Amino acid sequence: MWRAALTELVATATLMFTLTTTIISCLDSHGPDPKLAVPFVVFTIAFLFLIVMVPLTGGHMSPVFTFIAFLKGVVTLARASIYIMAQCVGSIMGFLVIKSVMGHETAQKYSLGGCAITGQDPSSGLSPITALILEFACTFVVLFVGVTVAFDKRRCKELGLVMVCAVVAGAMAIAVLVSITVTGRSGYAGVGLNPARCLGPALLEGGHLWYGHWVFWVGPVLACTIYYGFSLNLPREGLVWVDGEYDFFRLAGACLGDGK
């Protein structure tokens, strides 16, 4: 288990560094509407990391996926707890690297790539309740589209690893696109979809990143809980859910074409 947790830690740190610096590069470009490139960045990077990580640890890299895996019985409470701690430490490490290499003005301008519901001016952005609703809705979309496929052994084997990773990454990209366009508020940084990603910058930068920080934890927890209840009532004849602690690893093998 410790090897998998260490892999999650390193992968999360690397993901935070890659994703955050690439998104900031897009936003700092001089295109007509650079934020529209962000979903493509999210899709590409998430897809690549999932391709690498699913066969190794199940490809969590987020407390959201670990928590729903725990609820579905894919991982034990002990494994889920260790994974989430590793992801949080990995996020802090990744953002420490970002902070050490990023210019001070850029770091302040983009709040170190953190999860913010308001800007430096408290009057901008969203209220915590509005941000909570959006965080819940977007996380539920990712779970409904991505997890329903990824946790179905039959569909996973039919589609293969590449397509399953594309579905999950695509769901994340759609959620990000919705969140950064639908509100029209400049101070809002978009959905977190990953509480660990929000924790790192909040600890390192502080300030307004702590305002409404709970939204990025409560929203995903609510989404996972409600999705879990909903998934129990999906048509059973169309699904073959994973059913044990190590089924997710066997699922990765099935995606890779291992018939065992």
Please provide residue 241's backbone torsions phi and psi, each rounded to the nearest 5 degrees: -70, 150
* Residues 39 and 23 sit within 8 Å (Cβ to Cβ): no
Range with the lowest mean pLDDT among 137-151, 172-186, 191-205? 172-186
Query: Looking at the predicted structure, is the pLDDT value of residue 245 above 60?
Result: no
Mean predicted confidence (pLDDT) in 193-204: 95
Average pLDDT, the chain: 88
CATH classification for the domain delimited by 2-255, as one of 1.20.1080.10, 3.40.50.300, 1.10.3720.10, 3.20.20.450:
1.20.1080.10
| H-helix or E-strand spanning residue 94 | helix 77-101
170 and 25 in contact (C-beta within 8 Å)? no
* pLDDT recorded at residue 235: 79
Mean pLDDT on 10-36: 90
Instruction: Give 122's pLDDT tier (boundaries 50, 70, 90).
Output: low
pLDDT value at residue 238: 60
Token pair of 243 as six digits: 């059913």
Domain boundaries, the chain: 2-255
pLDDT at 247: 43
Q: What CA–CA distance (Å, rounded) separates 200 from 16?
A: 9
For residue 255, what pLDDT is reported?
Answer: 55
**More confident of the two residues 66 and 29:** 66
pLDDT at 135: 96
Mean local confidence (pLDDT), 22-48 = 90
Residue-level pLDDT at 248: 43
Residue 239's pLDDT is what? 61
pLDDT of residue 201: 95
Answer whether 48's CB lies under 8 Å from 82's CB.
no
Residue 256: the pLDDT is 57
Q: How many CA atoms does the CB half-sphere of 242 hold within 13 Å?
A: 28
User: Which sign does the torsion angle of CA 92, 98, 100, 105 carry?
Assistant: negative
d(CA 76, CA 244): 9
Q: What is the pTM of this model?
A: 0.87
How sure is the predictor about 63, in pLDDT bands with cuts at 50, 70 and 90?
A: very high
Q: Give the pLDDT band (50/70/90) at residue 32.
A: confident
